[in-house]
Structure 1
Amino acid sequence: MHTETHANEAADWKLIAYGREVSALLSSSNAESWNRELWTMFSGFMLAQSETGHTPNLSNTYFSFKELLEFFEKVERIRRGE
């Protein structure tokens, strides 16, 4: 039981640290700007595929990109209080 308390404290500390990092990241721009920048980066990546050749894990890249967009959409809803 004593060990569980320490585990919870460590988990809480880790969540607080993650929260601080996310807050610092988000304070540099708003969610809409992040989404625009992500689209710019991903579009550039897709255009470069003709020069760089086949990317075997392109579907993983796409889904990671999609998850980032969804993250920023959720953050914007939280910011608006929805």
Structure 2
Amino acid sequence: MDTQPPSDKDSEDSESVDRLHRAYGRKVKDLLSQSDAETWIEDLWDMYTGFTHFSQEAGYDPRGHNRFVSFKQLVFFFQDVGKMKS
């Protein structure tokens, strides 16, 4: 267990992280002011569905799995945000 008192550097790092989190929060708030989380999820599904139809016609995509994982994470993000607003 660390028994040393927090240093000025630790305090600065904590304040920097806090500012970053607040900035992220403002960006999310701006994003959700356009549409609610459920609408974003529906729109994401529409976009991904269109993308998968296109990719079937375009042929093999070596990054297809990575795109799906990114898409899935975005959907989970908006689901989590939607739960927070309830």
TM-score (norm 1): 0.92
1:20 aligned partner: 26
Query: Runs of 4 or more off by more than 4 Å in structure 1?
Result: none
Alignment-mate amino acid for residue 42 of structure 2? R
Determine what percentage of the aligned residue pairs are the same residue.
38
1:41 to 2:47 alignment = yes
Give, in whole Å, the separation in 2 of the partners of 1:39 and 1:6: 41
Q: RMSD between aligned alpha carbons?
A: 0.9
Matches within 5 A, 1:1-82: 1-80=7-86
How far has the Cα of 1:54 moved from its partner? Answer: 1.2
Gaps of 5+ in 1: none
Unaligned runs of 5+ in 2: 1-6
Number of residues paired by the alignment?
80
Of Structure 1 and Structure 2, the greater helix share is in 1
CA distance in 2, matches of 1:33, 1:3: 42
Structure 1 residue 57 displacement after superposition:
1.3
Amino acid at match of 1:23: K
Partner letter of residue 25 of structure 2?
G
Q: Give the structure with higher Rg (CA).
A: 2
